[in-house]
Amino acid sequence: MFYLMDQPTREQFEDLARRYEDMEPDAVRAMVRLLRVGSDLVAAFDRMLGRYGLSQSRFLVLLVLNRNPSRPMAPSEISDRVGVTRATMTRLLDGLAREGLILRRPHGQDGRRQDLSLTSEGKALLERILPDYWRRAARLMGALTGQERVRLFELLDKTASGIPELTREESPPARAPGIAIAPFSPENPGETEAIGALISGIQRDEYGMSITLADQPDLEDIAGFYLAGNGGFWTARLGGPTGRIVGTIALKDIGGGMGALRKMFVDKAFRGGRKGTAAALLDALLAHARARGVTAVYLGTTAHFTAAHRFYAKMGFEEIDAGDLPASFPVMAVDTRFFRIFP
Domain ranges of the chain: 51-166, 179-341
Identify the pLDDT of residue 292. Answer: 94
- pLDDT surpasses 70 at 301: yes
Please tell me the distance from the alpha carbon of residue 160 to that of residue 166, in angstroms, as a whole number. Answer: 11
The sign one gets for the Cα dihedral 173, 174, 179, 180 is positive
Instruction: Place 271 in a pLDDT band, splitting at 50, 70 and 90.
Output: confident
| Report field, pTM of the whole predicted structure over 0.85 | no
Instruction: Place 241 in a pLDDT band, splitting at 50, 70 and 90.
Output: confident
Identify the pLDDT of residue 232. Answer: 96
Q: Which of 282, 276, 277, 266 is nearest to 343 (CA)?
A: 282
- Determine whether domain 179-341 maps to CATH 3.40.50.970: no
Cα 313 to the center of its chain, rounded Å: 16
Please tell me the distance from the alpha carbon of residue 295 to that of residue 247, in angstroms, as a whole number. Answer: 25
pLDDT digits over 91-126, tens only?
999 999 999 999 988 876 666 788 999 999 999 999
Identify the pLDDT of residue 110. Answer: 66
Furthest-apart CA atoms within the chain: distance in Å: 92
pLDDT digits over 117-167, tens only?
999 999 999 999 999 999 999 999 999 999 999 999 999 999 999 998 888
- Name the pairing type of β-strands 179-183 and 244-255: unpaired
- CATH architecture label of 51-166: Orthogonal Bundle (1.10)
Residue 199 and residue 215 in contact, taking contact as beta carbons nearer than 8 Å? no
Instruction: Place 330 in a pLDDT band, splitting at 50, 70 and 90.
Output: very high
Residue 220 neighbours by CB distance under 10 Å: 13
Order of strands across the sheet that contains 179-183: 179-183, 232-238, 244-255, 258-266, 296-301, 337-341, 318-320
Least confident of 198-202, 203-207, 210-214: 210-214
Give the DSSP H or E segment for 266: strand 258-266
Instruction: Place 48 in a pLDDT band, splitting at 50, 70 and 90.
Output: very high
**E strand map for 146-201:** 179-183
Please tell me the distance from the alpha carbon of residue 321 to that of residue 331, in angstroms, as a whole number. Answer: 12
Average pLDDT over residues 298-319: 86
Please tell me the distance from the alpha carbon of residue 207 to that of residue 304, in angstroms, as a whole number. Answer: 10
- pLDDT surpasses 60 at 171: no
Residue 218 and residue 184 in contact, taking contact as beta carbons nearer than 8 Å? no
Please tell me the distance from the alpha carbon of residue 157 to that of residue 71, in angstroms, as a whole number. Answer: 30
Identify the pLDDT of residue 209. Answer: 74
